[in-house]
A and B are shown apart, each in its own frame.
Chain A
Amino acid sequence: MAKNHVTTTINGEPVEFLCETQQTLLDVLRDELQLTGSKEGCASGDCGACSVMVDDRVVCSCLVMGVEAEGKSIETIEGMADGDQLHPLQQKFLENAALQCGICTPGFLVAAKALLEKNPDPTETEVRYWLAGNLCRCTGYDKIIRSVLEVAEEAKGA
């Protein structure tokens, strides 16, 4: 079967790729486009390590078909920093030691960014429930949640 030709936008840049019908968006990002920042933890939508934005919604890229990217605007972890300027969430995660092995970190950052864009002043409970689809085995979530709350707090003052 011939591959599908897809035209899309990734992190603001126009991108074209070929993919098999059975390849997911995660497969495409990692294997065709060498954007390996999004991770595969489970391939079944249970861990959130593959989180990306598709048209302003945070989704699991392992549950989106590669062909569905046609005409969409996709944002991955690779697009979160602005050149060498880290996003406040990225900076806060570093300052607070909110990552240990770091495999879940890209997914958390993408999901947390989506939260603060939708709800700039979440409660601790709201942050925890929003991020419930992102599994972390190293940190116990404490420093991650604190980091998100602190960024929200600091944005209020700014």
Chain B
Amino acid sequence: MDGNANGYRWIGTRTIRPDGVDKVTGRAAFGADFSLPGMLVGKILRSPHAHARILRINTDKAETVPGVKAVVTSADFPEIPPAEATKGSSPPNYRHLSQNLMAREKVLYDGHAVAAVAATSAAIATEALALIEVDYEILPHVTGVLEAMADEAPVLHEDLFTGGVDPKPEKSSNIAKRVEFAIGDTDAGFDAADVIVERDYDTEGIHQGYIEPHAVVASMGADRQANIWCSSQGHFMVRQYCAGLLNMSIGDIKVTPAEIGGGFGGKTTVYLEPVALLLSKKSGLPIKMVMTREEVFRGTGPTSGSYMTIKVGAKRDGTITAAEADLRFFAGAFPGAPVHLGCMCGFTPYDIENVKAIGYDVVTNRPKAISYRAPGAPIAAFGIESAIDELAKKLGIEPLALREMNAAKEGTRTAYGPTLGVVGFEETLEAAKMHPQMSEPLGPNQGRGIASGYWFNVGGESSASVSINEDGTITVTSGAPDIGGSRASLCIMAAEIFGVDIDQVRAVIGDTTATAFNRHTGGSRVTFALGAVVIEAAEDCVRQLRERAAKTWDIDIDAVEWENGEARPAGENAGKFEPLTLMDIAEKTPMTGGPIGVKKSSNVQGPGPAFGTHICDVEVDRETGHVKILRYTAIQDAGRAIHPGYVEGQMQGGVAQGIGWALNEEYIYGEDGRLQNPGFLDYRIPVASDLPMIDTVIVEIPNPTHPFGVRGVGEIPIIPPMAAVANAIEDAVGLRLTSLPMSPPKVLSALDDGH
């Protein structure tokens, strides 16, 4: 989409990102690249047991090792009683977060942090860790979701009683919560159906797989003034969580965001920062903590795995009359599986009168789950989009056509409540139909699969400032970390409003003292919400620029217009004045009223929900079960693509993650409850030779609530791929696979079983 074609100068163009040169030259500073003089190295001792009571921790020997300056255990952290678990109005549950940060009384997964040391070198810290004595009473463990839900399952939390059921259970269990979203009457709907598909699916735990391990440099003095440098998806979140976990004042903590080497939701919480702060306070020196890759896998949140039952029914003519989903997601050691989001998004692409989605949030002896790109939705979509495909085959209707017949559109009521506004699902289906991949011939053992997906995207608290510098250049300070190129988009939007050259605008991410609160980067919100705030601030600046021109010319502000970066008299009657450029006005600001800078904060609402439809071609090696991706196209409604290159990049990245999720990624636990593949060797993310070029089509149905029509784009692309691949395999060799990952042994076994 050419920016010029829409009448914009910068929106829709492929500018070079402002932070780009630093990143291609190695100058950009990520979390582990930062250092302070006198810095100590911090390391964490982790539980080797999946479930055990901590009887005793003795750190005496570790403390006496020369070079060890501090040792902490959970005893050093304030205990957070249940009544204070949720402070303020929003998550997290600080009590759970605290217990996850450093185990109290019990370790709940292989990798659970138990203690930490700070020493003058990594070698000494490692030596000290080995000298910490922990007496464990090993307890039976449970890692599977169905096993954890069973009556006789070992219970992780004695004080956990299933929420969302009435009456409240008397016995504690591993089922933290039951949720339900329903409209209409699914029993009646299924009665009216001519064809029904009902199937069970299961998926494994999956890690976000960011290439940069968690890293922090922290410094806290005896006066409890704290400084943190870390790569995170939300430095305000880091500040808030540290304050909550350590009973500190938020104002005493300053967090400076480093560049972040991938997050995808996995860096929206804290694992190291509060530990580093305590070590720093105890030792009187700054602390650097960097996770190893093994720690990342064992100790940080993957996303949930699941067991799901999906049932869909339709009339002969293709009208879907009823849909049900029973989703059981495991959350890891503490509640918080995104099962409600899976329930909410799964059937939303379809206009169905009768829908019932039930979800269970189940704890298991695994690391605590955290968001992963559209949390919950990809898992639900695997089951639902596979079932829709099977339904289409049973009806003898093309999968795309079945979706078109039942497509959600403006006015469709969702199962979770809201009615959809202007949305572009049908347009993605249309674009899929017209795409050349649909007419590529398929050979033996080759097949094509279609799948769609929906994500509501979020807005949220956003703060930014826009300042006019003395030479007319513009600085945009955003409070949300840039994980995908948002600085480029913010510059584009600001340049568009100001009507100046893109090179006149720079975007930086400020620390927590530079702007008011920002919700973390996630939910595909930054280009939308920070964009909205930046636009508002920029428009305010433009008004002020007009005011200064009006003052200079001694005319009314209404007689001044702003165009192409200049103030001009609005029409002949305003007077004959030469235009004043932004630079002209900026230079004179001391005389016209002082510097121009605007700060805006808002809880931005009205994000544009969006849809995607994917086409996947595969080839299956019948003798080995190996699946090769031949071609892939992702089609998505972006509302308005501010920077098409980065929108495409988000789509391609999400697709690659989805393909990995579909084919090879999985957490492998042994009988002993220990993670067997905590590394990139055996946790198999796609490599360059695994994938073809990924074609992208950006559909633009502008979001009416955003000045430029932006919809979030980052999360939808990971939702369709698993079902797209599964549907393609079914088309290729007639096998309906219902268990992720669809790795070669599983494919071969299914082929041999002939089912």
Contact = CB atoms under 8 A, between A and B. Distances in A.
Contacts of B261: 39, 101-104
Size category, A interface: 35 or more
A152 interface: no
Contacts of B33: 30, 36
Interface string A126-152: 011101111111111111111000000
Contacts of A135: 211, 680, 685, 687
Consensus secondary structure, chain A interface: loop
A59 B24 CA distance: 19
A73 B27 CA distance: 21
Interface in B577-595: none
A82 B686 CA distance: 33
23 contacts: A39-B212, A41-B680, A43-B292, A44-B680, A46-B680, A47-B211, A47-B680, A77-B26, A100-B646, A100-B649, A100-B650, A101-B259, A102-B24, A124-B693, A131-B688, A132-B687, A134-B688, A135-B680, A138-B262, A139-B652, A140-B691, A141-B686, A143-B652
A13 to B, nearest CB: 16
Interface of A: 20, 22, 30, 34-44, 46-47, 49, 76-78, 80-81, 86, 90, 93-97, 99-106, 109, 124-125, 127-129, 131-146
A129 B689 contact: yes
A96 to B, nearest CB: 7
Interface of B: 14, 16-17, 19-21, 23-30, 32-33, 35, 123, 208-213, 259-264, 290, 292-293, 483-485, 643, 645-646, 648-650, 652-657, 679-681, 685-689, 691, 693-694
Nearest to A146: B693
A41 B123 contact: no
A48 B656 CA distance: 18
A44 B681 CA distance: 9
Contacts of B680: 41-42, 44, 46-47, 135
Contacts of B16: 94-95
Contact of B14 (A30, A47, A97, A101): A97
Nearest to B682: A46
B656 A141 contact: yes
B653 A100 contact: yes
A105 B211 contact: no
Nearest to B658: A140
- Interface residue SS majority, chain B: loop
Contacts of A142: 652, 691, 693-694
Nearest to A90: B24
Contacts of B259: 101-103
A155 B486 CA distance: 32
Contacts of A41: 211-213, 293, 680
B664 to A, nearest CB: 13
Contacts of A46: 679-681
A100 B688 contact: no
A139 B646 CA distance: 9
Nearest to A35: B26
Contact of B211 (A76, A93, A103, A140): A103
Contact of B679 (A40, A44, A99, A138): A44
A136 B14 contact: no
Contacts of A124: 693
Contact of B25 (A30, A90, A129, A132): A90
